[in-house]
Structure formats: structure tokens, C-alpha cells
Structure 1
């Protein structure tokens, strides 16, 4: 049998969690403590890499994201808005999921995002749980190391991700804060809070005492496996959820277990409740293979319909970003030397081996800013955009999209809320390689600073659906830049970066007449049209896919209700990035952990009320 079994007994469980990714590991940890008499099974398609140096070393995260040992290597269909490029989407193929291969940055959503989800997208019964006030404790509980714990955080008994600031602040990181103070925006808060505009130094999910990555597998699942009521099985391919033939008295589907394959042999294992945590691509695929989804999609895949739920696999969103790089003065240290100097790479490796310090002990990005367009636009420029957004929202006839677009409209009109999360990278960045001759060197022999704008809440929507061949990965289409407002807003943020480069702080950092990137546009942007021309060539994903099993009202295209239960089912929930109905402003992992904390609250509340 597959395994890494940590408990024995009959093949019957209270909970089966499908996937051992970020949300699943946290949920397992909390349930194993709070419901010690309940048996929990975690099924993971990847492997459990304990004490793997590649996973532990923070600076090696880029290599994990192209290695099939650690990465499922999802890829999109050709994206028309990006010149028909196929966009790779790394997803973790190991215990800990994508939290074990990502680039560590810890960026929080804002209060307004949660309050609008609660008010605009959920039924009345869910508004208290999912409002900002209902979620505050959920955002505090999953991590430690970056701030003093609250009085009621129960630090001694909770498993937590370790986070840390950079050990020292270099010149570029210090100047980043100064650049925004120069614009009249004081340093913003780093945690879950009400929106403010400005720069911030954030933490990374790195245990500074060890110089190692801290991810869901090490922080949550490892301790849970020692408690005796958790079983982990790896190398398992979940085929579908098996339902009873007869519906419940309320007309809902009752899941009796999971059908999975291990080493070519199929198994059926029973549980009282199923929790899908297979990720933004995996969870909708399992629902569809189980007969829950759009009639058209299921018919094309030759799957009988058990419950028609058109929202499954729809509403796919991602953070598209685009950056500009400028060459720095010779006395400004950057990370570029390591790109072409093998001796520097050897020295960094040696330092890490000896002391767990240096470049390999750090994440790539700590310097972020929450940037409304109003920060550097003229009032007339902003008014032009808000009027255009208003026309698009009023003209939208789809009720789900109209609700979501109205949500985004409020963000755009607010001078405090970020229309892009902007961040600084202390090196050059190339995303236009496919547009250059094949013999073009991968790097430029110079030192650069790069500023990247990540579109906070895109209007474009995509999909992820199974095909008729169950052995194939699902067909993934983000439809990047398919909505004109995404091009308009992201292009404006490129102009804001250019304006930032012209301010005194960055002027002092930049080499006069120095090189510029992208190489397909090696000069300063002078117009909105320049910026729009760059996007199809140089825009890239921030690897934040979300929303394919959205928590919304069913009439708005939702897949799970405010209890995270799949519509039409009695005992199937989903909890991972797929349930975020609208993508938050920054890196989505903080929200995934917080939603998992809320899932535990909801489950334990139900168990207690039924006892």
C-alpha cells in the first residue's frame, strides 16, 4: 500500500484530505489537535521529501520550479493576449505543495477585500465569518517570527510557519522606502489591515534561525504525523469522489469515499467527509471527473452528470505582472554578479554550507509597495480611467461578472487601495526572450534594479477543465489581457514605474545613459502606447492562479458556499486557492492559510454542534 503511514487501524476515516499542499497541511495540523478522536487520511500525488537540501535552501527556489521531481509543470494553452505564448505554471509536486517551491514572499490582503467578499458575493449567513473582523484571528494564527504574537494567539500549542525579515537591508532596499516617502507616502503596514498606500519591507517564509525555507509540510504536517490520528499516503492519484446512488433526503449527493490509483491498482477508501485541497487546477478536475460541473464540459469528457454546477473550473484568475529594469551606478551592489560569475556562485554556496547565511539564505523579494494609480497620476488621468471602468461595469450583463467588476471598481476609485502591488528585485529580469533571436545571451553583463507592477485585481477571466483523456493535464486558459481594462491599468502602472525612475531617489541610483530592459524596448517609456506595446511581449505570471471553485452564491456562479461545502453535496468541501472568489492584491498564500484556518473553525463548530 502507498504510504508513510503514521497510524494504524481499519480503512475507515472521519476526514479524507485530497492533496498535501498548503491548505491541507494546515487543516490536518489543526484537526489533529482539536479533534484528537477523529481519524484523518491525507492523500498526496507527489512525494514527501524530508530534509531535502534543494527544498530547504531559500535561494534555490527557481531551480525547483523547473524540475519535474518537484513541479507538476502545468502549462497554459497558447495565450492570444501574450502573442500566443504558452505560460508555465509551476505547482508543487510534494508534501507542502507550492509553499515548498515558491519564492517565499509574505504579502497580506486588505480588510476591504474581505468585507466586499462578505457583503457582495456571499449570503447573509456567511458575512460574519468572512468579513475582515471575522478573519483577523485567522491571519494571525498561521505564522510567527515577524511580529509579537497577540495575547490570545496560543503560541505554545499551535504549529506555525516561520517568517523573517532580511538579515540586513542593502542600499536598494533602503532607497526603496525613501523613494515612496519622497512621494509623500509613509511606510505602509505589513500585515492584514485596512489599506494604505506606500512602500513596505515584508517578511519571507524563511526560518532565520536555520536559514531554511519554512513551508506547510514542515510547519504543519510533520508535527501532525506524530499525533497518532493522521495517515499520509503519497504517490496516490485520486480519480474521483464516489457518491451513494441515492441522494439524501434534502436531495444532495452523499460522498462515501475516494477512488484512487496506486501503482496501477485502483482502491476505494471510505470517509465521513471529503476535503479537496488539490489546488486551483486539481480540485475542479476531481469535481468534474466525479460528475459535478458544467453539462457541456462533462459531456465532452464522457462523464455522467450527477450535479450540474457550471462554475466548476470557471472564473480562473492570476496576477499578471510587467517590469522595467535600469542599470545601476557601479557602486550599487545588486544580485546580478551571480548570474555570470561562477566564482561568486561558488562563494555563496560555500557560505551557505558553512553558516546558513548569505544570498542562498534569503528570498528574492522583500521590497513591496501598495500602489493606487492616484499615487503618480494626474487627477484628469485617473478620472478618465474611472469613467471608463464605470462604463464597462454598467454594460456588463452577466450577473457574476457584474458583481465582481463592481467589486474591482471600488478598489480603482479608492486612493488608498492598490490597483497594483509593486515590488523591487535587485537584479535584471527578462520576460521577452521568446521575442529575441535564438542566439541572444540570457543575461546582460551589467548591474540592474528592476521594478515590477503586479496587476492587483484583473478583469480577465479564464478556465480550467478536464478533457476526454483522463491521463492528460486539464486544459488551462487564463485569457490574459483579454479584457481591455487589464491592458489599460497595467500599462498605466508601467508609466508609474517610469515616473518613479525619474524621481530624485532613483535618479541617484541609475547610471546616466545606462542600459534599459526589456531588451525589446531598451529606452524610457514616454507614452501609454509605449507601455501597451510592451505588455504582450514582456508581461508574465506571478504564479498565483486562483478562483476555479469560487466561494460565492450559487446564482453568481459559485462552487462552494460560505461553509466551503460544494453546492449539491452533503459532505464535500474545497479549501485551497481555488475558493478565493476574487484574487487578493498580493501573493495569495497568506489568504490560502487564513482560509484554511477558517475551514477548521467551521468544521469544528459543526462537529461540536452535532455531538
Structure 2
């Protein structure tokens, strides 16, 4: 069988593309190829608690071979499943329409309308309703330090504005207070539509390209490794068909072998991910009980750092996590790979997937042993002090993330990703990333300490000994310096490598060329690879980019959203 579209990947961008494409009256048959498991049969990740364990065990999280130019390893990866990270635990905030207009094309009004069309498909309730006690605690802790809640949402999904200031963004989550999944990023696609064929656990190995009479390259088929059958298959495009690359970090990698033939040296350039710094562990304030929904507290706290010499302000975001000790540590177990392993071992871990699986599980077992010992001590202490022995230990913590000042790139063979974290100016020796991290953490240390009560001094001392995570301003500089040399970690949402305007056509003259790779007749990119790293959490931007490509490709069909946008709320 041949297909009119072959979509490589089924993550955020693919879900956005398919959701819009299936709305059109186009009759083309679509093959979707996904390396991960079928989401609908992965029942053990349908609950927040079980997902945490799956994430920690390495079933969903796949590591990149990422290094700095100084050969310092970086724990950076991706979620490998239908819907990508957005189907598992999405963080809902849009990049500003002004930013999208500048980096992708189209008007600000176009992006506002497109967000409205996309957001309505998620059918999200107002996140300000029925706030958990922990969410309320985070909001109350932030407001005395200058943060204010902003009402700039479209269909209840926040939209980052183009303005300075300390802002609090409430966003909808996938879970009810019991931790049960009620929504998912994959639910915006009708997977039972007769036009879709879904094949999971199929890794696209290479594109089959031919040269046309005009000298351009045309994709005629894809070669796939079937991970279940352990065989190689080939799937062909129909005449006039197109391939839509939504494979995240693999999108530039699939194009790199043809960079010279495409005549485009920018493929694989301008790649980046947010720097992520873990911050202190705290005990919830007396009387505040956490829920499974609080594992990812649905609040972003954003602030701005800007130097007079900087061309662009840096948006810095605090994320918050809370829950029972043994469960919460599953979520952050990959942090411990960054914090506990020496660089020499991490270089091997990022290069060898089997070693990553081994170390990930070793960390998981270590966490379980520590949890058992701590719970044993707590039960004994509670018995001696007359407290209920079943009382669970709960924690609240935060991370800081921001866009690095310099972008990175893929190596020529695609085997490594070089990320320019903590890049120092050779002339002035100014290190912008280090300055941002140090300044922002120092300026917000009182806010962080207001999230909860500090743990016992012995526990805090152990945390400091292993990680140097600060609890006071005078400890910040040492922590950031150590982190920049030993603990590098990313948000796990790689962007760039195939940017609009250099690698991809913006489609301003011909809508059907939107997202098309220059030098090719039928290869399109519809994911985060097509833009520089957004300033805020990029999952909604990925959905929107896929939605945008489909919107333009479907512009010659009667049911076109570009003709009749729904009114803004």
C-alpha cells in the first residue's frame, strides 16, 4: 500500500498536524510511524503515580548523546511515546504571538486565532477553579515577592505576554485530584479515522530520496526498523505524496545525510534546550496535604533577566513539584543521574542506551532503599513521639529553567548534539548563563524558602554535601559554578535544527510550501525543530507548529480554518 502522507513521529507536532488535517475534506491516506509504544495500551502510565515509575525506569525517557564543546556530558533526552511528553504530563503555556510571527511568519492576529482554534480541542477547564492546597500555597508564597497572577489565557491555556515583570501562570493539567488521567495530548486526534494507519514501535531509519528533473530531491519511501519483529520494512509514498517530519530530535538527524544534496548547510544548526537547575527540598507547611495532581504543580512563575548588552531579555521560569517522598523522587530520578554520577561515567551513559537503562534502574533501586530506611526511621520516631505511624513524608521542591545564551548543533554524522551551555565570551570572559542563574536564584531565595519548611539540618546537610543545592544566598555562587562543570541538565524539549527562513519555506507566497525543506519537493517539518528554542516551556508551541503546517497545506480545501476563524474569547 502507498500513502499520501507519511508522518514520522506521533508527538506534540504530529498530534497538532493530524488534528487539523483530519478536519479538512482531504481524502489522502496517512501513515503514522512511532518509535514508542501504543499509548492506548500502555495502561500503566494512565495514572500519575504509575507514570512516575515508568518515567524513572527509562521506558518513556530516552537519552541524547549531548555534550558541551568542552566535552562535559549533559543529561538531555525526550519522551518516547504517542503524543510525546504532551500526552504524558503536558505543561500548557503558549509562546507569545509576537515571537511566533517573528520566527515563523504570518501576522500576530493569525497566531492568536490559530491558538484559539487549537486550544478549543483540548477542552480544558479554568485552572483557577478547585485549586489544591499546595497550589494555593505556591501562589501565596510568590505574591509577597512581587509575582502577580496574569489573565492572558486563550480557552483557559495561558499565553506568555511580551512584557517585563514577575508573572504567575496557572495552567490546566491532565489529572483530577486523585491522579486519574482525564485528558491527554493524543485525544485531540481521531485515531479511528479511516484515513489514518498507525504503526507503533517502528523507528524510521532513513529516507529514500530521488533527484527530480529540476534537480530537487523527492522522498519516495522510508525505511523502518520494526522493533517488535526485529525486521526492516519500507513504506512508499503515492505519487504527489509528502512526508511530514515530526520526530523531534530525530528530524534534523534524518535530514543530515542529505545536507549537501539539499544545498543547505544550516540543517542541524541552532539547536538548544532549556538549562534546568534543581533547587531545594522543603516540607509542606503544617496542615497542607499534597495530592497526586501536585506532582507537577500547575503554576509557572516567570521573571525577566536582561543585561544592557543583551539583545533579548531572558525569560526565567520556576516550576514546582510536590508529593509523597517515594513517588516524587521517581519523577526526579534522572536529576540524580546528573547530580550523583561523575562526568567520566556520564559520558559513557549518554553514549550507550543500555548503560543508561542500567544506571537509571540502579538509581531507582537506590531511591527505594533510601525510602525504606527513611520510612523505617520515621515510623520508629513517630511511635516514640506518639504520632500516627502511617503518616507519609511529603516534599515540595522547585526548578529554575531558562534559555541558554548560545545555541548548539548536531555533529556532521548526527551521532552527538553539542549544546553551548555556560558559554564564556573569549574576549570579555563574561558568562551570561552563569550570571543569569546566580542572579535569579539569589534574588528569589526568600521566595523559594517560603514554599515550605526546611528539612532537618542533617537532611539538609546531606543534600548540600551531595549536590551543593543552596538554601541561602551565600551558597548560590558555589552551587552554580559546580553545576556548570558537573551537573548539567536540560528540560528535555530540544528545539531547532531546521529553522524557518533558512532550512524551511515560510509559505508566505504559497501556503502549500509552508514548512517545506528548501531543495526538496515533498519533505516538510512540523515540530519544534522548525524554530529556535521558545523562551517558555515549549510543548504547546510544538502542537501549534504542527497545527500551523496542516492549516496551510489544507488551505485549498473548503473546510479551511484560515477562511473562518472562531471568535476570540
* TM superposition score normalised by structure 1: 0.69
Q: Aligned with 2:150: secondary structure?
A: coil
Residues 178-232 of structure 1, C-alpha deviations (whole Å, 9 max, x = no match): 3333234421235225245322322223478993163333331xx2x33322222
- Give 5+ residue unaligned stretches, structure 2: 324-328, 344-362, 375-392, 425-430, 508-513, 561-569
The corresponding residue for 1:203 is: 172
Q: Aligned with 1:323: secondary structure?
A: strand
- Does the CA contact (< 8 Å) of 1:321 and 1:454 recur in 2? yes
Residues 3-38 of structure 1, C-alpha deviations (whole Å, 9 max, x = no match): xxxxxxxx2332221222222233223222313422
* Cα separation, partners in 2 of 1:594 and 1:265, compared to 1, 3 Å: closer
Matched, 1:106 2:72: no
Residues 114-171 of structure 1, C-alpha deviations (whole Å, 9 max, x = no match): 24325xxxxxxx3xx2x43211122223335xxxxxxxxxxxxxx5365673885344
Residues 533-564 of structure 1, C-alpha deviations (whole Å, 9 max, x = no match): 2432455211111112122x22xxx4454411
Of 403, 426, 439 in structure 2, the residue corresponding to residue 492 of structure 1 is: 439
* Cα separation, partners in 2 of 1:560 and 1:526, compared to 1, 3 Å: farther
Q: How many residues align?
A: 480
* Cα separation, partners in 2 of 1:480 and 1:161, compared to 1, 3 Å: farther
Matched, 1:269 2:236: yes
- Does the CA contact (< 8 Å) of 1:319 and 1:544 recur in 2? yes
- Does the CA contact (< 8 Å) of 2:495 and 2:533 recur in 1? yes
The corresponding residue for 2:266 is: 311
- Does the CA contact (< 8 Å) of 1:328 and 1:511 recur in 2? yes
Aligned pairs (5 A) from 1:425-574: 425-426=321-322, 431=336, 432-434=339-341, 448-455=395-402, 457-465=403-411, 467=413, 474-483=415-424, 484-501=431-448, 506=450, 509-510=453-454, 516=460, 517-519=463-465, 520-521=467-468, 523-526=471-474, 529-536=477-484, 537-551=486-500, 553-554=501-502, 558-562=503-507, 563-574=514-525
Q: Aligned with 1:238: secondary structure?
A: strand
- Give 5+ residue unaligned stretches, structure 1: 1-10, 119-125, 145-158, 294-304, 336-357, 374-381, 390-408, 413-418, 468-472
* Cα separation, partners in 2 of 1:208 and 1:528, compared to 1, 3 Å: closer
Q: C-alpha separation between the residues in 1 aligned to 2:212 and 2:451?
A: 70
The corresponding residue for 1:325 is: 280
The corresponding residue for 1:242 is: 208
Q: C-alpha separation between the residues in 1 aligned to 2:518 and 2:317?
A: 33
Task: Calculate the aligned-residue CA RMSD, in Å.
Answer: 3.6
Of 137, 141, 164 in structure 2, the residue corresponding to residue 175 of structure 1 is: 137
* Cα separation, partners in 2 of 1:67 and 1:466, compared to 1, 3 Å: farther
**Per-residue deviation, 1:481:** 2.0
**Per-residue deviation, 1:310:** 1.5
Q: C-alpha separation between the residues in 2 aligned to 1:330 and 1:21?
A: 38
Of 11, 20, 23 in structure 1, the residue corresponding to residue 10 of structure 2 is: 20
Q: C-alpha separation between the residues in 1 aligned to 2:112 and 2:482?
A: 39
- Does the CA contact (< 8 Å) of 1:367 and 1:424 recur in 2? yes
- Does the CA contact (< 8 Å) of 1:370 and 1:421 recur in 2? yes
Of 112, 129, 137 in structure 2, the residue corresponding to residue 136 of structure 1 is: 112
Q: Aligned with 1:108: secondary structure?
A: coil
Q: C-alpha separation between the residues in 1 aligned to 2:516 and 2:445?
A: 46
Q: Aligned with 1:420: secondary structure?
A: strand
* TM superposition score normalised by structure 2: 0.74
* Cα separation, partners in 2 of 1:163 and 1:219, compared to 1, 3 Å: farther
**Per-residue deviation, 1:568:** 0.9
Q: Aligned with 2:138: secondary structure?
A: helix
Q: C-alpha separation between the residues in 2 aligned to 1:161 and 1:533?
A: 44
- Does the CA contact (< 8 Å) of 1:142 and 1:161 recur in 2? no
Q: Aligned with 1:90: secondary structure?
A: strand
- Does the CA contact (< 8 Å) of 2:217 and 2:519 recur in 1? yes
Residues 395-431 of structure 1, C-alpha deviations (whole Å, 9 max, x = no match): xxxxxxxxxxxxxx2325xxxxxx2011222368665
Q: Aligned with 1:306: secondary structure?
A: helix
Structure with more relative contact order (C-alpha pairs < 8 Å, separation 6 or more)? 2
Q: C-alpha separation between the residues in 2 aligned to 1:207 and 1:269?
A: 43
**Per-residue deviation, 1:255:** 2.8
Q: C-alpha separation between the residues in 2 aligned to 1:178 and 1:165?
A: 16
* Cα separation, partners in 2 of 1:326 and 1:140, compared to 1, 3 Å: same
